[in-house]
Amino acid sequence: MRLQGKVAVITGGAAGIGKSTAQIFIREGARVALCDISQESGSAVAKSLGENALFDRVDVTSRTDVQLWIESVISRFGRVDILVNNAGITRDAQFVKVKDRELVRQMNETDFDQVISVNLKGVFNCGQAVAPYMIRQGGGVILNASSVVGLYGNFGQSNYVASKAGVIGLTKVWARELGRHHIRVNAVAPGFIMTEMVAKMPEEVLESMRARTPLGRLGTPEEIAQTYLWLASDEASYLNGAVISVDGGLVLGT
């Protein structure tokens, strides 16, 4: 019961890593408020978790949505001890694709803006909404979802890599600014994880992922959630501003 008495808010909690994190946090004694863009899936997850879980449909790109959500959590649970900024999307495409030195296609502006808005601005919105409450109550933990590609780059993911590298930057700034208020801020950088979305990929793509991972397999959402649990607990009480890679030793190529 490492999170006994704690209140955690988790974005993107309707599936994958967010769902697994909510399950583990509940098991470890926390009360959990989930949000996601998917009303049906999020409500089902919260119901399965029991009376200590709540769900709200929230668009993390909207500052109004986020602020109202956090205020609602405070009114129902009284505090926020842990924020897990997990919500994220992908819109993959090459920066520029050429043939015979002529432009064939390129990543479009809309796809770039959407990924930055959800993956980076969403983290900013949620962090800024919870920080004042954490300061007033004397501390807290903010955990941000980056990615191994935010550290090393990846072919065809200019928007996603930029967003996840930006999350690392935010993490380090917030660790400096909020540490004096006893708020620890850390990031997790997962490698290839077998979420529901990834499981639907063609087998040849999955095999390529395994081949680039020295452990020879994809990670599970539970393995990332266990990392969040440790970072949220008092066992990680002196860890601040860190980026923890959970990637099976992944080596990214082109």
pTM: 0.95
CA 149 to chain CA centroid, Å, is: 14
- Helix-strand-coil split of the chain, %, nearest 5: 50, 20, 30
At 253 the pLDDT is 60
Question: What is the average pLDDT across 240-251?
Answer: 94
At 252, is the pLDDT very low, low, confident or very high (cuts 50, 70, 90)? confident
Helix (H) or strand (E) holding 183: strand 183-190
Q: Decide if pLDDT at 170 tops 70.
A: yes
Q: Does residue 2 lie in a domain region?
A: no
In whole angstroms, give the CA distance from residue 95 to residue 155.
9
At 254 the pLDDT is 47
At 100 the pLDDT is 95
CB 223 within 8 A of CB 186: no
Instruction: Tell me the pLDDT tens digit for each residue of 87-109.
Output: 999 999 999 999 999 999 999 99
Q: Which tokens hold the place of 116?
A: 């930055």
Q: Does residue 252 lie in a domain region?
A: no
Q: Does residue 97 lie in a domain region?
A: yes
At 178, is the pLDDT very low, low, confident or very high (cuts 50, 70, 90)? very high
> What CATH number does the domain containing 19 carry?
3.40.50.720
Q: Which of 18-32, 118-132, 207-221 has the lowest mean pLDDT?
A: 207-221
Question: What is the average pLDDT across 125-137?
Answer: 98
β-strand 96-99 against 7-11: which pairing, if any?
A: unpaired
Domain that holds residue 20: 7-246
Instruction: Tell me the pLDDT tens digit for each residue of 199-231.
Output: 888 899 899 889 989 999 999 999 999 999 999
At 245 the pLDDT is 96
Q: Could you give the residue numbers annotated as active site? A: 160
Q: Does residue 239 lie in a domain region?
A: yes
Is the Cα dihedral 73, 166, 185, 242 positive or negative?
positive
CA 67 to chain CA centroid, Å, is: 18
41 or 253: whose pLDDT is higher?
41
Q: Which of 16-30, 52-66, 209-223 has the lowest mean pLDDT?
A: 209-223
At 195, is the pLDDT very low, low, confident or very high (cuts 50, 70, 90)? confident
- Pick from 242, 254, 215, 247: nearest CA to 141: 242
CB 171 within 8 A of CB 240: no
Q: Does residue 143 lie in a domain region?
A: yes
Q: Is 1 exposed, middle or buried (0-12, 13-18, 19+ CB in 10 A)?
A: exposed
CB 84 within 8 A of CB 11: yes
Q: Does residue 56 lie in a domain region?
A: yes
What percentage of the chain reaches a pLDDT higher than 70? 99
**Mean residue pLDDT across the chain:** 95
Q: Does residue 253 lie in a domain region?
A: no
Domain count, the chain: 1
